[in-house]
Structure 1
């Protein structure tokens, strides 16, 4: 244990942070505050931030939406720290930063695999990501565009409670181009990975 405490800070601090996060989640669970919010809490806020970014696709691949965000971060931090420290102990002559080339991929793969196992153990009637199906039929405005057959852009949509959501979107019809600032209607979720929503111009939807 003493050797571990003298490990490079690049790996020791993530390991300790991940372990602290795990202890915190256990404490919150036993005091009754550890239920992961499915709508507007911890995972809801993170989901809202990621929806308009390509980083959301990465977290989708890591099982975000099926596994609580805090668990994924815990797995990433602990694995990165542990593998980095193991490599430091095996190859002590190498510079500390070089171990990240092994620790980072290992952290991603362990998080992906372990997250998949955890997802299968969690109740199937619960979701740990915000469900935006209720926004189908709502009007929004293109905030990052134009929307076309290329990379998805972004739209901003208000729900029935007046809360603003930012969604990645593309036109429902191939070959269509919708300019930034245009009013659109959310039609449905696109098939495939990621959170991309299909939209049509508001006038066409009428």
Structure 2
């Protein structure tokens, strides 16, 4: 059933779960985090307006539970629901469910599963572990470039602690032409450019942690 042509969406979801586990394991080894990177791709919960997509994110507990956890729950539920549906129909009627119908049914079943799982996890995960902080609160903090060389218009990845002491990953570039930031260099974040992208200057307090 895993490799049947009709169940390919659920096979893809299963392999995505495995890929996430591998990437997160590698990221932990190199001192990064897939969860934080995904969090940066989505809007800050405090900046969301009352749009339909934003309401859906709130309903799914986005901002109260790390986005990677919600993604894993979604993929696992989607894959299991799709395989279970096909297994039952195959056993009873002797044919696979058409992929489009199976995907729609699995998706509609998965959404409330993610909703209830997220609500439950939000009660046991400390609030300061959700990384739901505003990026502009990082201005004035000192970040450390972790890889690449940053130039104006070509940011490099850097890590910076937030007010909870958690390490977040941002993109930083020099605020002035002619400046560069090398890997390992400590940089003062002076301005938020867009999302998790910041302008920075040479740290005037090199001993500041």
TM class by smaller structure: 0.5 to 0.7
Count of paired positions? 136
TM-score, normalised to structure 1's length? 0.54
1:56 maps to 54
1:98 and 2:101 are equivalent in the alignment: yes
Tell me, yes or no, if structure 1 residue 117 matches structure 2 residue 120: yes
Query: Under a length normalisation based on structure 2, what TM-score does the superposition of the two structures give?
Result: 0.53
Aligned to 1:199: none
The alpha-carbon distance between structure 1 residues 32 and 132, as it changes in their structure 2 partners (threshold 3 A), is closer
**Displacement after TM superposition at 1:113 (Å):** 1.5
Determine which structure has greater relative contact order: mean sequence separation of CA pairs < 8 Å that are 6+ residues apart, divided by chain length: 1
8 Å CA contact retained: 2:35, 2:66: yes
Measure the CA separation in 2 of the matches of 1:74 and 1:35. Answer: 12
* Structure 1 outlier segments of 4+, above 4 Å: none
CA distance in 2, matches of 1:101, 1:162: 40
For the residue of structure 2 that corresponds to 1:8, the secondary structure is helix
Q: Shift of the alpha carbon at 1:5?
A: 3.0
Q: CA deviation at 1:58?
A: 0.7
Deviations 1:10-69 (A, max 9, x none): 2211222123213432443355323844xxx43133125994653122111111111122
